[in-house]
Homo-oligomer: A and B are copies of this chain.
């Protein structure tokens, strides 16, 4: 797909009404937040390896729901299944139920990237802003309250009973707001999420988060064809959207 010309881009942006944001990695720093909690709670554990291993279980766990192997299961429960599998390998098999419940809730306590709150506040003045995450509603609400994320509406795979990249999740946002798909823009730090949204007719904005997996293993954030926008961070998105 050729890059959009300036006038086509203006048309796109003028018709956009709702910005839907991926959360883990895009708005909040899951890797750094989990590292910090692990270092404080269990200093003998390799916190970097632990955070990466926990997150690595995420897509396979959702795939078990998508395939029908598991019935509808919320991310809180999936995180817990992965955690219980993971603890022995990190020397934490002795953790009590209370300790496991607390640790699993770290996903409700993730810190925002430094530009997220102020950038979202700018965007909120002109657009309706919502989450569109595979995280469950309670997780996303607790996270937003703690981190100060100013959503107009918390939307989740839980509302649509469909995990991204299922089209029902992306089209569900347009349906909630009685909009055409191209009046909704998905903003995410993951090209596969954006590609699936684009296939449903949504606009897409790629947000660079090179340190998503930690500062020592920078990820490729080079532009890919097809996205409406490619921006460095939330403030660059606000600039591009005329906020």
Contact = CB atoms under 8 A, between A and B. Distances in A.
Interface stretch (A46-54, A83-91, A138-146): A138-146
A153 B145 CA distance: 9
A137 B178 contact: no
Contacts of A141: 128, 130, 152-153, 176-177
Interface in A116-169: 128, 130, 136-138, 140-142, 144-145, 152-155, 158-159
A155 B178 CA distance: 17
A126 to B, nearest CB: 11
Contacts of A155: 137
A35 to B, nearest CB: 25
Contacts of A144: 152-153
A76 interface: yes
A145 B159 contact: no
Interface size grouping (class) on chain A: 20 to 34
A100 to B, nearest CB: 14
A153 B144 CA distance: 9
A135 to B, nearest CB: 12
A16 to B, nearest CB: 16
A128 B108 CA distance: 14
A81 to B, nearest CB: 16
Nearest to A129: B145
Interface string A156-193: 00110000000000000000111000000000000000
A145 B124 CA distance: 9
Contacts of A158: 159, 176
Contacts of A145: 128, 152
Interface of A: 76, 128, 130, 136-138, 140-142, 144-145, 152-155, 158-159, 176-178
Which 5 pairs from chain A and chain B are nearest by CB?
A: A141-B153, A138-B177, A153-B154, A137-B176, A138-B176
Given A137-B155, A158-B159, 14 more contacts: A76-B178, A128-B141, A128-B142, A130-B141, A137-B159, A137-B176, A138-B176, A138-B178, A141-B153, A141-B176, A141-B177, A142-B177, A145-B152, A158-B176
